Structure 1
Amino acid sequence: MADSKDLLQVLWSGADELRGKMDANEYKTYLLGLVFYKYLSDSYLARVYDLLNDTMPDSLEEAQEQYEEILKTPDAKDLLDELKESMHYTLEPDMTYVSILRDAKENRFNREKLQAAFNRIQESDELFNGLFADVDLYSNRLGTGDLKQSATIANVIKVLDGADLIHAEGDVLGNAYEYLIGQFASETGKKAGEFYTPHGPAQILCRIAMNGQEDKKGLQVYDPCMGSGSLMLSCRNYSNEPDYIKYYGQELMPSTYNLARMNMFLHRVHPENQHLRNGDTLDADWPTNEDTEFDAVTMNPPYSAKWSAAEGFKQDERFMDYGGKLAPKSKADYAFLLHGFYHLKQTGTMAIVLPHGVLFRGAAEGTIRKILLENGSIYAVIGLPSNMFYNTSIPTCIIVLKKHREGRDVLFIDASNLFEKEKKQNVMKDEHIDKVIELYNNRETVEKQAYLASFEDIKENDFNLNIPRYVDTSEEEEEIDLKSLTVEIKDTNKKIEEGNAQLMQMLSDLTFNSSEAEEAVRGFMNIFEEV
């Protein structure tokens, strides 16, 4: 069986072949794309062998040989039809990873065959349309000239040969892919904000969104700013029916959208449970037919992004019930929040990460916030530590929303000190995450940690949700004992006087070899005598 640690080492060593030639944001595309191609190819050959022998192959070379042989027989058409039906794609024998690896080892690798394999997969089914569009096998980034460019790709192909992607059990492969995405996020810094939510905030979001829905079969998860899909996929860790979860996600950046699609397959999510779209979430609502409300909504949108805030949006069902107000053009935070909330089921839970400004800013945002609070829609506010995310060092908060619940109280949690400092980022460990969830589940006031605010409390604060208004984390200063302080000062003054006297005596005992030196020392002594 594939060992998780070994698999990680092999996959990450593939990055060493590309590092130095381009920045991490670019070589992530090559490595993750080639890992995914190997997975599809190896899965295909394993399926061929299984159909012919009713068991998994010991080696992919053996499966390759049988595939080449069966294609020479009259049974070839039936086999290919079955493969297309079950796998959604087919590959010629010379398009498989095994065949291309053989070429690489024998120094006759050519990129045309690999590109042909990419094209075949992409053209096989809408599921794979444009999936390898970002993996440019002819880029100058790979080296100068055809030979160096081909050698770079061939070297990655050879390194990845050590990764057994077929015998990996459970989520080992998916978790390894997540690890790679996290490593690239660490290397790319600010650009990582487009595709990755760090582990701590991600687990808090998902555990809250899944709370009470762990046993639901056919649960529907929605992330309209899905990035690499990691948030949605983390929800399966807290489900007792993970194979039946349906994922609905939208992503603006085409390359990140492709990464999310690959991530779904590598977590072995069935194609019929993947509903992913490349599009602008705020510009046009999606989804708008069939399933439009979801059990769990998780979001980490771009903070304070610009959007059009066009007048027409006031008639948009997502935004029309908030006093005729829209999120301002310069800060789309509430537009993202209201979009996600619109798509939440009456029985579901939504958790979204946003900057603290949404808790207290006035004008249109203040109006929207007031209506949400009057409706009882805001269930909890959790303050996170600063410097948690790759794209900003500012502190952020998680807002939890529910529909049609009894009561309008809001739980405030201050988790700003629950972290450990590591290299570039602050990191929330498992004990920090567990503490937040414990406070969330108990839903009661805990001094300096949490406060359950009544609607009257919030109204008295003019609907301002700034966490320090509710959770007081200030430390009282120690009372000063004036009597002992007076004694201390007297003692200190006495010691200063004694020290000065000793210094004057030492200076008086000095002998001088010039009148200038004597004059300088006498001037120095005069200063002390005047004090």
Structure 2
Amino acid sequence: MDMSTPAEVRRKPTLTQSELERHLWQAADILRGHVDAGKFKDYIFALLFYRRLCDVWDEEFEVLLAETGDRKEAAEPDEHRFHVPPQHHWRAVRKHATQIGQHLNNAFAAIEDANLRLRGVFGDVDFANQERFPDARLERLLAHFEKHRLRNSDVPPDMLGDAYMYLIEQFAEGAGKKGGEFYTPRQVVKLIVACLDPEPGMSVYDPTCGSGGMLLEAVQHLKAHSQDPRSVSLHGQEKELDTWAIAQINLFLHDIDDAFIAKGDTILDPKRYDPRAQEFIPGVGAYDRVMANPPFSAKEWGHEVWTNGDPFGRDVYGVPPKGYGDLAFVQHMIASLKDDGMLGVVVPHGVLFRGGAEGRIRESMLKADIIEAVIGLAPNLFYGAGIPAAILIICKGKPIEREGKVLVINGDATFTPGKAQNTLTETNVQTLSDAFHGFASIDRLARVVPLEEIAGNNFNLSISRYVQTGTEAEAMDVAAEAAKLQDLIAQRDEAEAVMFGHLRRLGYVE
């Protein structure tokens, strides 16, 4: 019997990118008002992934059946990229008119159990709540997903992957500040990848990989340069389990099976993949390219542990302050580099000029001559963060001609204004990446600054100190002043805590 239904055979075989994106986004409308907006993505992504798995399994089955003429052999798990137990296939679930949510849950669990590589990809999605997902609503949702078949022949991996990235962006935009926890604007990612220029055969690592956008962009970068994208090895780690699942689905839908994404806290519990043991083990790996957008100024990052010495030896340049974990992530990335490796990391501007422990770490890094460039970005590019950020480019083995120098690029005027969010166009990205690779002074954009000058400025890397775009020549650096204020508040809070500790010991306060 043909595994496709007559309706599927008659169905239109292809979609345009915009049609596919519209179709997937409309699924969210069915849940709107019934499910918390922050959870839309988990349910929609789970159903999209489930539908894709089943459709691709059918597609593979039909090819194998045509080749062998043996239905049993064509259905053998070892003959497929992944196994879908027949009783938990999409068609089997669709035969049920009641308890649909529980049947979906059972299917997700069965698929994870049958495929080691897919363990955990459905996260903690639960469709069995009858109040949230009555059978009538689920029937409508599943019927919507059946409007278009999602086989590779209908929707190629890059096309479906791009649609998935579109959904991630839409959900991030709707989630406001929380959206920034799992999504970095794609053009910012493109800028980092363009600067690091990963090459065939390299290893690429993102220690806070979110939805996997940076790893995917490294693959797309090779494709754009007509190079073999499958020659790079992709590695990452993600603390939030729901976000880890999004990344796994994202990579899978882009037809990438061999990325290694660990679960867990990168600072407190770093992991690397051991190919011989075929599992993740505690430790810090060594990679050709490292890129990340870690949490800005994390308050709870592991200061207590690092105060006694980081167990993994990453605190080479010092221990960051308790309330600002930015340079803990940066030092983890430095420790994760090969001797000739490069990294690109998004940081808040305060990292460039704050004093205290951060100032001492920055001074040590500059004296070690590993900071190659600082790229200031325009404000309001990130979801939930209106202040501008910067990109640090660090290289363990700088080219000789760049030794003793730091390229400072001021991109505060290089952007395209938007109503709710500013953006970088392809041209903006090209302007900034060309400036980095050119490593030359450009009026109102970039300047090659000798380390002696930076040392004379007390190792301050505040961008406007070295490059002014013209529009802000007389203006105060608002972001810098706001960061200074935050720093002062943190110092005051710390001093108050010490003072009250003394008062308690003396019996003046309880």
Scaled by the length of structure 1, the TM-score of the pair is 0.79
Q: Does structure 1 retain, via aligned residues, the 8 Å contact 2:102–2:128?
A: no
Choose which of 281, 302, 308 in structure 1 pairs with 2:302.
308
CA contact (8 A) 2:61 2:75 kept: no
- Give the CA deviation at 1:292: 1.5
Measure the CA separation in 1 of the matches of 2:330 and 2:274. Answer: 21
Q: Distance in 1 between matches of 2:195 and 2:417?
A: 24
CA distance in 2, matches of 1:391, 1:54: 53
Q: Contact between 1:80 and 1:90, CA under 8 Å: does it hold in 2? A: no
Distance 1:341 1:477 in 2: 34
Deviation sequence 1:78-134 (CA, Å, 0-9, x none): 4444x2453232321x42223434x37xx5672333222111111113222222232
* Map 1:133-152 → 2, pairs under 5 A: 133-139=123-129, 142-143=132-133, 149-152=134-137
Give a deviation string over 1:150-200, Cα, whole Å, max 9, x none: 222221211111333212235111111101101111111111111100122
> Match for residue 480 of structure 2?
none
Alpha-carbon deviations, 1:50-94, whole Å to 9, x = none? 111149xxxxxxxxxx9xx93xxxxx3x4444x2453232321x4
CA distance in 2, matches of 1:408, 1:237: 33
Instruction: Report what 2:93 is aligned to.
Output: 100
- Does residue 371 of structure 2 align to residue 378 of structure 1? yes
In 1, Cα distance between equivalents of 2:471 and 2:92:
67
Residue 113 of structure 2 aligns to a residue whose secondary structure is helix
Q: Give the conservation status (yes or no) of the 8 Å contact 1:388–1:426.
A: yes
Q: TM-score, normalised by structure 2?
A: 0.82
Displacement of 1:475 in angstroms is 5.4
Change (3 A) 1:174 1:380: same
Structure-to-structure mapping, 1:314-393, within 5 angstroms: 314-322=309-317, 325-393=318-386
Query: Paired residue for 1:242?
Result: 229
The CA distance in 2 between the partners of 1:455 and 1:39, in whole Å, is 53
CA deviation vs aligned residue, 1:435-473 (integer Å, no higher than 9, x gap): 111211211111111111111121221211000111023
Following the alignment from structure 1 to structure 2, what is the Cα–Cα distance between the partners of residues 54 and 347? 48
The equivalent residue for 1:113 is 103
- Cα RMSD of the aligned pairs, angstroms, is 2.3
- Residue correspondence of structure 1 range 263-282 to structure 2 within 5 A: 263-270=250-257, 273-282=258-267
1:529 maps to what in 2?
A: none
| Aligned partners of 1:385 and 1:419 also within 8 Å | yes
SS of structure 1 residue aligned to 2:443: coil
Q: Could you give the per-residue CA deviations for residues 295-352 of structure 1, whole angstroms, max 9, x where no partner exists? A: 2211001100022312555253443422xx2011100000000101111122222110
Q: 1: CA distance between counterparts of 2:472 and 2:145? A: 58
In structure 2, how many angstroms separate the alpha carbons of the residues matched to 1:141 and 1:429? 44
Q: Go from structure 1 to structure 2 and tell me whether the alpha carbon gap of 1:277 and 1:477 turns closer, same or farther (over 3 Å shift).
A: closer
The equivalent of 1:153 in structure 2 is: 138
SS for the counterpart of 1:345 is strand
Q: Is the CA contact 2:348–2:389 (under 8 Å) kept in the aligned structure 1?
A: yes
Q: 3-state SS of the aligned residue for 2:261?
A: strand
Q: Is the 8 A contact 1:376 1:404 kept in 2?
A: no
Q: CA deviation at 1:135?
A: 1.7
Equivalence map 1:217-256=2 (5 Å): 217=201, 219-239=202-222, 240-256=227-243
User: Gaps spanning 5+ residues in structure 1: where?
Assistant: 56-65, 71-75, 144-148, 479-531
Decide whether the 8 Å contact of 1:318 with 1:338 is kept in 2: no
Q: Please report how far the alpha carbon of residue 392 of structure 1 lies from its aligned counterpart in structure 2 after TM superposition.
A: 1.4
Percent of aligned pairs sharing the same letter: 32
Q: 1:19 to 1:84 in 2, by over 3 A?
A: farther
Alpha-carbon shift at residue 206 of structure 1 (Å): 1.6
Q: Any gaps of 5 or more consecutive residues in structure 2?
A: 1-13, 276-283, 475-510
Counterpart of 1:32, as a letter, is: F
1-side partners of 2:410 and 2:260: how far apart?
A: 35
Q: 3-state DSSP class of the match of 1:426?
A: coil
Deviation above 4 Å: which 4+ runs of structure 1?
288-291, 475-478
Structure 1 distance, partners of 2:418, 2:319, is: 39
Shift of 1:420: 2.2
Shift of 1:250: 0.8
- Cα 1:476–1:410 change in 2 (3 A) is closer
